[in-house]
Amino acid sequence: MEFSAAISAFLTHVKVEKGLSSNTVSAYKRDLLKFDAFARKRKLSLEAISRDDLVDFLAGLYRQKLESRTVARQLVTLRNLFRFAQTQDLISVDPCINLESPKIRRTLPGYLRLEEVERLLEQPDGKTPLGLRDRAMLEVLYSTGLRVSELIGLQVSDLDAKVGCVRCIGKGDKERIVPVGRKALGMVEKYLRQARAQLCCKGKSAASPALFVNRRGSALSRVGVWKILSAYGRRAGLHRPIKPHMLRHSFATHLLERGADLRSVQLMLGHADISTTQIYTHVVEERLKQIYKAHHPRA
């Protein structure tokens, strides 16, 4: 069987039978297409792929200077594919058996200091519809810690201004309710009153139910949010690339710095495992060490 045919069957399986999100399916597809190109060069069929081939492929990723986390994710994708192929009797032996995962170096998530967040939030021009949208969007990102996919998936009906919370759909199509701060709610209400209708009117098609829309009245894309945030980061004079996830990291770090408990932060972030949230305690500990070294006379 051609490897490309196995990819198609596997992607259909994870999308239809396992019900994985479109983002996860797209990530699987990107990873598998890389290996498909490798298999084509070696003229390998699905059944002919061996453990040595996988080792050579992963070694090639390291030679491309990819991080161990990226290589480990690629291996997880291949494990899932070959496990599926074996259960479907497409192969007799799983070549991933006894193949060790790369050791992942644990890195602390990048986050913004409070004064940097304030500078970033001040950048949008509140006198224009797009500026109002951007200010409201940045306020919501920092106030809730939403993932960018959750942000662009928000609909107007998901916001409950009276209760002060927003309903979002996270990983695995899991729904959760997240509190929204007073300042963020105020900016969103201002955007809804003064800007969103203008943006929707410019669109040629029917207005989108999305909370945050682009200049054509359609829902913003992940890339669109990334470009907007990156541009405001440069304008604010921040000396590092600003990505949407950095506001999520800042949200969690600032909560813990001010005494929030880990379990509450886990629920707000939508982490299935609290060990994922615990990385932020290391950020806080590192911050305390820096303060100690900077100010203690015998540090």
Spatial distance between the Cα atoms of 209 and 175, rounded to a whole number of angstroms? 18
Give the pair of three-digit tokens for residue 155. Answer: 């609909």
Residues in CB range of 104: below 8 A, 6 or more apart: 68, 69, 72
DSSP 210: B
Catalytic residue, chosen from 133, 135, 147, 249, is 147
| 42 carries an active-site annotation | no
Give the pair of three-digit tokens for residue 35. Answer: 């290996």
Catalytic residue, chosen from 83, 190, 245, 287, is 245
Catalytic residue, chosen from 51, 171, 176, 243, is 171
Cα separation of the two ends of the chain = 64
- On the 0-12 / 13-18 / 19+ scale of CB atoms within 10 A, 262 is middle
Catalytic residue, chosen from 196, 248, 249, 254, is 248
The CA radius of gyration of the chain, in Å to the nearest whole number, is 23
Catalytic residue, chosen from 133, 249, 254, 271, is 271
| 147 carries an active-site annotation | yes
Q: Which residue is listed with tokens 């998530």? A: 109
Residues annotated catalytic, as ranges: 147, 171, 245, 248, 271, 280
